[in-house]
Structure 1
């Protein structure tokens, strides 16, 4: 039990740190692809581990569980050694006043000279963003009080998107994904009526479908943006859950077995839709939506909310499946349908923007600090000008900028 607790702490640190680090150390046009690769490889690891453990069930004795547990140890040591060679986040270095180190890392990431215009522009944008955010230093009370960069609202968005991840970002759990990931064999035996061995094998292929779906954002997220894939994935997941519920509602009729087998296909489509959208994108979005001065704290809060959702789902799912059977999937259908308009209305689009430019989606219109900061940074001045395109609206919002936001 102590080992499980320590492992859980380690996983919590990893899931709250890695997306944040990835988002801070890559170019805007590839940020989505790079951040979602962590989720892709997580899915791949789950699939490999599942089939490995399934194979070990035939070994018998203590070896059947000791070997799978011990196989987790070597990768931990390898990762701990390799992490020592990773560069520090340039944004964190700027925040700490270590500007030259940040420039060196930016030059390395961009494969350019330190004097390169892109490197210098990024550096200036980071310095200006830090200055803007320091005009409202973080205090925990800021979560409940508006400031110039809307810190509390952005932490709320990060929590909401990971809540949907437990639907898939926060929303992943409430979308129904962990019902299938954790309890697929039970669901397939209890609701679909498969034999135990067949249910185990089928569960493995459901995990494989989840991994295949996760390939899509790893290649296309920066082309498609964030909002449209999340809305499409939530809608597809909702339709899949609806059809599963319909197919399983015929229990006790002559068509029960045939329709229950058909439902397996829609478990697969659910895993594909979820893997391609609400599984990966919320982890990227929650890290990039937060301002620098609270990125660590905000990400931690959002990930904590995510894991609380996981805990709730794990504790309630067996009772739901046993008590209301196929109606369980109607709950997740409704949740996914609800997420579609929420994503459209609440979340701004962040694809292709630097983390500093994302700050300027949220700044209070008319804030004098904003005018001063935009005027001092070529990168952010250009961003402000670009944000007047498409009818004079800020990306991802319906709000037009005031003229002083685009003056140099």
Structure 2
């Protein structure tokens, strides 16, 4: 197999791209329902979600069921991410991806063959479980396999693919809108099987993370894979230095050699709980910007609220997803130049403006210009959000997590994202029916809160190794310190200093 001969940055790119295909499946499945919740053939198969041909109490009841059908995918994803707490450290990174692919295959098949409300609900939740495992594994895996200078770019490729998945789903739905019968929605539901087949066929050839292998005491295997990632000989001093640095960071976090401490709630000098809260809050704030209200319900917003035709609504919706993908593409070029903090602040700040503007404009749609201006701000939001607050929080959570609990922090990051995604998807149809334009004010406020939290508590991690980022938290004495420490800590601080310190500590333990 050709992938077995790839090494260096080429190997890192292969891993990043294949992991990104998993996020394409995630984006596609998250958005695909958006296109046919108003299709007559879909409503005939599942009349319980019909909000087009119903009124009054029946429409309100159906809105709740529709919200459940859309949102249960997120609930399944949260369950999948939660499972990473238990399987992630047992199976390793590539094997966890294989399990995710197998579960997604089952879920997508159930969805595409559905003939009832119960079946579509089961299919959505099973697919979500597989996607949740992907989101709890892939960003961590790519972060661990990438060098510090290119880590941001390689991880954020996942965002481009995920949002391209949303765009593909929208355009497929638009094309199938002109077909008749159940094929108009069964084909879009079945299409992800093609992408999943690609992942399942190539994942077995991917190398395990050296950091995971070191954590498991398999140092020789880790050395061989690290040499491949660095395109050097296994005996090269640079490879030995990198392995020693990872071991030093792990043992310093554990406390003493051979003793595994994976308590994510500890608040000793390694600040596990502190890091866990930061990681989980990042994905929470992404969802609480309200971006998925736009992404998940754009067709019905354009069709029912802004009074566009079904065809125009789907064109606008598909173009919105393209704007998302362009924003994610922009992030790739900025993340390792500008940094994480500035981009996250930019995105949350942009959402404050966008949500406030949409709220004000849609409060009076008697003026046609207001509706057109609202469309502009929808596009503005969809372009600006992924620049700093889509895949970035997933990567950031893996970056700041110590190796001993990285799988736990990565899972918690994904769980937070999916639970708040579920909440937003479940509440949105009801909130839009009851408070209308005022609903957007909620997300303007939560986006503003996100800006404040990021500014006060999120240290910059650009250009630092994962082990070096540990130093930022180890040298912090309070929750307010990491931002300041990150600004003052010299780049490359942890190389020989940490290794020497660990060697002295180990020697002292042996003498005692």
TM-score where L is the length of structure 2 = 0.68
Alignment-derived partner of residue 389 in structure 2: 278
CA distance in 2, matches of 1:243, 1:365: 39
CA distance in 1, matches of 2:243, 2:151: 18
CA distance in 2, matches of 1:188, 1:328: 16
CA distance in 1, matches of 2:186, 2:146: 39
Tell which deviates more after alignment, 144-153 or 220-229: 144-153
1:210–1:275 contact (8 Å) kept in structure 2? yes
**C-alpha offsets along residues 93-148 of structure 1, whole Å, 9 cap, x if unaligned?**
111111122122112112222233432221111010111122186667x4443122
Q: How does 1:206-245 map to 2 (within 5 A)?
A: 206-245=320-359
Q: 2:204 aligns with which of 63, 74, 84?
A: 84
Alignment-derived partner of residue 44 in structure 2: none
1:213–1:273 contact (8 Å) kept in structure 2? yes
Q: 1:315 aligns with which of 401, 407, 426?
A: 426
Alignment-derived partner of residue 395 in structure 1: 486
Pair 1:263 & 2:374 matched? yes
Alignment-derived partner of residue 27 in structure 1: 147
Q: 1:153 aligns with which of 267, 274, 277?
A: 274
Q: Secondary structure at the match of 1:394?
A: helix
CA distance in 2, matches of 1:301, 1:234: 21
CA distance in 2, matches of 1:230, 1:71: 33
Alignment-derived partner of residue 291 in structure 1: 402
Q: In structure 1, list runs of 5 or more residues that go unmatched.
A: 167-173, 367-389
Q: Secondary structure at the match of 2:205?
A: coil
CA distance in 2, matches of 1:249, 1:43: 29
Q: 1:132 aligns with which of 237, 247, 252?
A: 252
CA distance in 1, matches of 2:453, 2:393: 14
**C-alpha offsets along residues 131-181 of structure 1, whole Å, 9 cap, x if unaligned?**
1122186667x4443122111111111100110121xxxxxxx10111011
2:476–2:485 contact (8 Å) kept in structure 1? no
Alignment-derived partner of residue 160 in structure 2: 40
Distance 1:337 1:363, change over 3 A: same
Alignment-derived partner of residue 218 in structure 2: 98
CA RMSD of aligned residues (A): 2.3
Alignment-derived partner of residue 362 in structure 1: 473
CA distance in 1, matches of 2:447, 2:455: 13
1:302 Cα shift?
1.9
1:350–1:396 contact (8 Å) kept in structure 2? no
Alignment-derived partner of residue 304 in structure 1: 415
1:14 Cα shift?
0.4
Q: How does 1:113-124 map to 2 (within 5 A)?
A: 113-124=233-244
CA distance in 2, matches of 1:334, 1:67: 39
Q: 2:284 aligns with which of 152, 160, 163?
A: 163
Alignment-derived partner of residue 298 in structure 2: 184
1:222–1:352 contact (8 Å) kept in structure 2? yes
Q: Secondary structure at the match of 2:286?
A: strand
Pair 1:249 & 2:363 matched? yes
Alignment-derived partner of residue 369 in structure 1: none
Alignment-derived partner of residue 342 in structure 1: 453
Alignment-derived partner of residue 191 in structure 2: 71
Pair 1:9 & 2:124 matched? no
TM-score where L is the length of structure 1 = 0.85
CA distance in 1, matches of 2:423, 2:260: 30
1:91–1:292 contact (8 Å) kept in structure 2? yes
1:289–1:358 contact (8 Å) kept in structure 2? yes
Distance 1:27 1:306, change over 3 A: same
1:187–1:321 contact (8 Å) kept in structure 2? no
CA distance in 2, matches of 1:397, 1:231: 20
**C-alpha offsets along residues 226-254 of structure 1, whole Å, 9 cap, x if unaligned?**
000100111112112222222212234xx
CA distance in 2, matches of 1:57, 1:349: 46
**C-alpha offsets along residues 275-319 of structure 1, whole Å, 9 cap, x if unaligned?**
211112112101111111111112112211111101100111112
Distance 1:251 1:50, change over 3 A: closer
Alignment-derived partner of residue 68 in structure 2: none
Q: In structure 2, list runs of 5 or more residues that go unmatched.
A: 1-118, 478-482, 502-512
1:397 Cα shift?
7.3
